[in-house]
Chain A
Amino acid sequence: MYTNSNVTNTLDFNNLSSLAAMSIDLMVLIIVLLYIVFSLIVVRQVYLMSNVVITGGNKYIKFFAWLQLAFSFIFAYFILSLFVIQ
């Protein structure tokens, strides 16, 4: 018999279907992957543009682009450990 006491306001993954939980994991994973792709594109574009216009500031922008790429991988590792390898 179904009773109202079983219903809470909080979404609980134990009560959710595993499909819903997996889809959230998948969504985060896709976003992190897209972020890595974006970071790679930024590195590539920064190098391309640095050859078009050569300025003293380009080395900082290149460093920043690599830093962002490194950060995206560290972030991906963090997210994987949090969401997938549990």
Chain B
Amino acid sequence: MWQTFIIEPMTNLLLLIYTLIGQNFGIAIILFTILIRAITWPLTAQQLKGTSGIQELQTDKEWMGIQKKYKGDKEKLAQEQMRIYKERGINPFGSCLPTLIQFPIIIGLYQAIIRSLAATPLSLLNLSRGLYPILDVTKVIPLKSTFLWMDLGRPESIQVFGFALPVLAIIVVITSYIQSKLMTPPPNPGGNDQGAAMSGMMSIYMPFLMGYFALTFASGLALYFITSNLLGIAQYVMMGKANWDNVIPGRKK
């Protein structure tokens, strides 16, 4: 199921792009990411809308009123919260959906990259199965795994004064940090401090986690992370939702 609906379509799409653009796997990954971002654009927009909508509720008089009024009745409080969500057109789970969708894409892409580059006999044999008949990949297999200074099937680093500097992993951390900070709305005085603190922690931990993945796994995945992050940042800016004051600590107003 996973194989048929995730890995094989992704592998074939990557191979199709690779074939069409003149056999550059790095560009193929970038274009693939743009395509995925374009498909998930409405979901990301919904996520942003949901996040800012929920944030605005924290200072809303009616919202604060029901918190006080039904403090001892959790069932009634939940009913009232759902009513307000419905009235204001806010989907409380809308902000989770894009995150949920990202995971199978990332895992699937990673498997598709490893499968497409086929560095071992079994991976090459696996590549031979599940290729769509419309694709004539005979001439392009094996794929050229190099892109700029990287071997996209292996973790990346550049030797600087005898040290292996993981350039892509560093860029992944920076772009992930900027993206997560941009989408965090400014804290408000009446807001939930605990929630804000946890959100702040997440915006620190997530970039490092992504950086760890970029450091450990194939650099093709890091290329996906960077492209995806940059596109995410561009989307926030285009939607006027980017909160630049959050990016640089101490610049908050």
Do A and B pair up? The answer is: no
